């Protein structure tokens, strides 16, 4: 039985009608910015996937890879993530296990 390979370039997309054109994880409304903000707060990729069970580890890793590959451009837009996330933002809903 063969498995289908995933083109990692297909995991991130943008659409001017969704999230104001910000890059999102394909098939979801979850922005790359949201994943990166959670990651920078100390949540691991596995924790993000456990909380947001509609995402796969590959999707979260793709969002992080997309951000780090384009960090200078993304951070230059509207002051970067720190301008939008001055404090710790909670997961929505909170992580299972009370983290």
Domain span at residue 69? 8-84
Q: Identify the H or E element spanning 61.
A: helix 57-69
Distance CA 23, CA 66 (A): 9
Query: Considering the domain boundaries, does residue 1 fall inside one?
Result: no
Secondary structure (3-state) at 58: helix
What's 66's domain CATH number? Answer: 1.10.10.10
Confidence of residue 99 (pLDDT cuts 50, 70, 90): very low
Query: Considering the domain boundaries, does residue 98 fall inside one?
Result: no
Per-residue pLDDT reduced to its tens digit, 13-58: 998 988 888 999 999 999 999 999 999 999 999 999 999 999 999 9
Query: Considering the domain boundaries, does residue 90 fall inside one?
Result: no
pTM of the model: 0.75
Please count the structural domains in the chain. Answer: 1
Query: Considering the domain boundaries, does residue 66 fall inside one?
Result: yes
């Amino acid at each position: 039985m063969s498995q289908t390979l995933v083109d990692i370039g297909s995991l991130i997309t943008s659409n001017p009608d969704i999230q104001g054109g910000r890059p999102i994880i394909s098939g979801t409304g979850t922005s790359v910015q949201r994943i990166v903000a959670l990651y920078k707060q100390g949540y691991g990729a596995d924790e993000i996937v456990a909380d947001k069970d509609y995402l796969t580890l590959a999707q979260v890793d793709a969002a992080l890879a997309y951000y780090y590959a384009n960090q200078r451009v993304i951070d230059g837009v509207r002051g970067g993530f720190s301008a939008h996330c001055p404090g710790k933002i909670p997961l929505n809903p909170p992580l299972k296990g009370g983290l």
